[in-house]
Amino acid sequence: MSNHLKFFINGEWVEPVVPVALDVIDPSTEEPFTQIALGSKADVDKAVAAAKAAFPVFSRWTQSERLTLLKRILWEYEKRAEDIAQAVSREMGAPIAFARNSQVAAGHGHLSATITALETYKFTEDRGTTRIVKEPIGVVALITPWNWPLNQITCKVGPAIATGCTMVLKPSEIAPISGVIFAEVMEAAGVPKGVFNMVNGTGPDVGQVMAGHPDVDMVSFTGSTRAGIIVAKTAADTVKRVAQELGGKSANIILPDADLKQAVADGVTGCFGNSGQSCDAPTRMLVPRAWHEEALNVAREAAEKLVTGDPQAEGTDLGPVVSKVQFDKIQRLIEAGISEGATLVTGGPGRPENLNRGYYIRPTVFGNVNNNMTIAREEIFGPVLSILPYDGEEEAIEIANDTPYGLAAYVQGEPEHARKIAPYLRAGSVYLNYPDWDLFSSFGGYKQSGNGREYADWGIHDFLEIKSVVGYGN
């Protein structure tokens, strides 16, 4: 029987205190395919109380016991992999191959990396006669987005379990079914009552209540910078820790010694992956001015090769964006690019010609963009690439850093040259020559892209308090 209209609280699937249902929309058809329950303060209070009651015992579990639990969670996750992939494809429109090989795989990777990190993590160290102890921070509120649901759920739940924290998860109400399945995974893994709780709902009615709750010790939030500011302000009254992974407008600097065709083509693919719905997507491509026209031709060819369509069809590269709100926002920003004088290289307003319903965006490339244009300033969160010409690498660095965001930056060129550029870029991650994904790197941003870090041991750090026991060694 479906748990879509229930919450997972204190080890049980329960009805909401006040039943309110929300349609979950399939963005490829614009039609609802199921419903979820929306929570309220009363549901949050129940979930937080369960987490608070479970903390004294769970926080004393040994490192070995927590490792065993994480391995059981990973085992159950693997068993539900196809269910999760189908849910992600349906709720957010991800092509099914991408849902399996990237979305579900991301969750698997983070759980595995957390297990590896925990196996050797040191929770105590001695400095002279003082013992430094790293202890779980307490009850944590986990608020996750719709664009990479399993990536962000596992980035938060994994280290919370690893450190001995108890938690309440609020998945995005826009793409919530994968979160429900993840709660079923936690139940099947035998997570003790109250350690993991899940309440669905909106940001104002559940997320903000969690952030301001006096019995919540930390909030880990991933989402827009606008929402992150609200969470931080709400949490400030109770002086709790807030870790945030927020928006981005990442620059991709193509250096003169790069292979232009390869660098531009791969940059298009990187920008348009997940239908452009990634906070660290390389959305601003910076190319030497002398190469600008050639770069536009390469980008056009790469974009026009991508197949946009039915997420369940084999060979689909890009599905729809997640919602009408996102579709309308992206259309508005594409129109802004045209009206502000950028060169429309390919794509543009409206749906692709072969699609008359669904929130599909034409893969769009703009050239002759300057960094004052709206499309260079705002996070579009769709398959839209801006190509900006530059004169000299000092200007390229200046343009790259001229943004309120600082989540990621990319550099393509001879390795030694690319390495020399990296220290000047104000971003939490700098990727040189499109490297493989590293689950043991840190992930998080400078400036308005947030604070705190995720992935492996970096994520574990954020869920810990530091205690000094002075005189321990006397």
Active site residues: 245, 279
CA distances from 127 to 20, 472, 473 (A): 54, 10, 9
- Across 27-175, where does the E strand assignment appear? 31-37, 124-127, 130-136, 139-143, 166-170
* Torsion angle, alpha carbons of 391, 428, 383, 301, to 10: 50
Distance separating alpha carbons of residues 277 and 284, to the nearest angstrom: 14
Beta strands 450-451; 241-245: pairing state: antiparallel
Q: Is 354 exposed, middle or buried (0-12, 13-18, 19+ CB in 10 A)?
A: exposed
- In degrees, rounded to 5, the angle at the alpha carbon of residue 384 between the alpha carbons of residues 282 and 142 is 60
- Across 137-275, where does the E strand assignment appear? 139-143, 166-170, 196-198, 218-222, 241-245, 251-254
Place of tokens 């996102």: 326
Distance separating alpha carbons of residues 113 and 365, to the nearest angstrom: 36
Distance separating alpha carbons of residues 139 and 330, to the nearest angstrom: 37
Residues 6 or more apart whose CB falls under 8 angstroms from that of 302 comprise: 264, 265, 268, 269
Estimate the crossing angle of helix 177-188 against helix 149-163, to 10 degrees. 30
CA distances from 471 to 131, 207, 465, 468 (A): 8, 42, 19, 9
Q: What are the two backbone dihedrals, phi and then psi, of residue 244, each rounded to the nearest 5 degrees?
A: -135, 135
Place of tokens 């001229």: 402
Question: Which of 220, 209, 145 has its CA nearest to residue 175?
Answer: 145
Contact 380, 221 (CB under 8 A): no
Going 188 to 192 to 196 to 199, the CA torsion angle's sign is positive
Distance separating alpha carbons of residues 146 and 172, to the nearest angstrom: 5
Distance separating alpha carbons of residues 343 and 179, to the nearest angstrom: 41
